[in-house]
Amino acid sequence: MPYVDYVELKSRITILQAAQMLALTLKAHGAQHRGPCPICNTGGDRALVITPERGLFYCFPAKTGGDLIKLVAHVKSCSQNEAAQLVQSQFGGTVPTIPARTRGSIPNHSPTVPQNQKAGLNPLPYLEPEHPAIQALGISPATAAAFESGYAGKGVLRGRYAVPVHGKDGTLLAYVGVAVSKEQSPTLLFHNFDPGSTIFNANRLAEGGDLFVCRDPLQVLLAVENGVAPESVVAFLTDGIAAQQLEMLAALMDEKKTEPAQLF
C-alpha cells in the first residue's frame, strides 16, 4: 500500500471536504457543523459534530473523534491508513481551495475554569495532567490542564483520573475519580459529595447556545478534546438519572435559554 504523508494530506484537505467526500448530511450552526452519524444511526441530527476551525470531529454515540483521517476511518469502518488512502485517491495531489479561516494555526479554544473556590476546599496541586494514563484515555495534557484535572498519585482518589466538579457559580465542590484501566471499577468515585446534586460543567454553559448532555465527565472532556465547544456540553455524575436531576437540567436550560438538550 503506497505511503501517505498524513501531515501533508491534512495541510491541503479540510475536514469539511472530507465530510463532503463521505456525503455526510451536515448543517452549519455557529462555528460548528452537525448532523446524524451514518454508522451509529443513533443520537439524532446532532450526533456528529465537526469543528472546521480546529479540523476535528466528535461522534457522541461512538464516543470517538479526531482529525479528518479518523473521520473517514470512522464512517468507512476502516483503518486510518486505509482512510488516508481513500482521501488521497479522491483528491490526488491537487491543492483545493481552502477557506481562509481553516488555514494556519488552530485557535486556542481551551476552556478556562473559574477560579472562585469554596472555602476549605482547595485545588489539588499534585495532579498530573501529562500522566500517560490520562493520555491513554484520549485526553491531551492541554485539555487536562485546562480543566485543572490530572492523575492522582496520592490521596483518596489515588491511581485515578481526578477531575474537579464545580457549582454553577464556579465554586469548587469536589473531585470525581475516573478509572484509568480495565482493572479498576468504572464507577465514578467521590469523597463526601452527593453526585446527584450537581450537573458537571454547568458552570461554563453559555447562554442561548447548544446543549449536549453526556453520561459522564470523561465524555465531556473527550468531546472538548475533539472540537466540541466546552461551553455547550455537560454531564450527569450518576449511573441512573433521577427526577430531581432532570428538574435541575430543565431549570438550567430555562436559565440559559439553550436549544433543546440532546442526551448521549
pLDDT averaged over consecutive 10-residue blocks of the chain (264 residues)?
A: 78 94 93 94 92 95 94 95 91 49 37 42 93 97 96 96 92 94 92 90 91 94 96 93 88 88 79
Strands 212-214 and 233-235: parallel
Same domain (yes/no): 94, 142:
no
**What is the number of domains present in the chain?**
2
The per-residue pLDDT for 180 is: 96
CA–CA separation, 160 and 142 (whole Å): 18
Say what the pLDDT of residue 96 is.
39
Three cell numbers, residue 154: 496520592
DSSP state of 231: G
Cell digits of residue 93: 495531489
**Residue 26 domain-assigned (yes or no):** yes
- CATH number of the domain residue 21 falls in: 3.90.580.10
The domain of 230 spans 132-263
Same domain for 172 and 54: no
Pick the last residue of a domain from 84, 102, 120: 102
The answer on 224 and 176 residing in a single domain is: yes
Describe the strand order of the beta sheet including 161-166 as a list of residue ranges: 150-151, 161-166, 172-178
Question: Burial of 209 by CB count in 10 Å (0-12 exposed, 13-18 middle, 19+ buried)?
Answer: middle
Q: Is residue 110 part of a domain?
A: no
Q: For residue range 183-218, list pLDDT tens digits in order.
A: 999 999 998 889 998 999 999 999 998 899 998 999
Same domain (yes/no): 70, 166: no
Positive/negative CA dihedral, 174, 154, 157, 111: positive
Do 148 and 250 sit in the same domain of this protein?
yes
Burial 55-76 (b: 16+ CB within 10 A, else e): bbbbbbbbbbbbbbbbbbbbbe
Residues 191 and 95 in one domain: no
117 occurs within a structural domain: no
**Residue after which a domain boundary falls, among 102, 119, 142:** 102
Residue-wise pLDDT for 60-86, tens only, equals 999 999 999 999 999 999 999 899 999
Torsion sign, CA atoms 149, 152, 157, 160:
positive
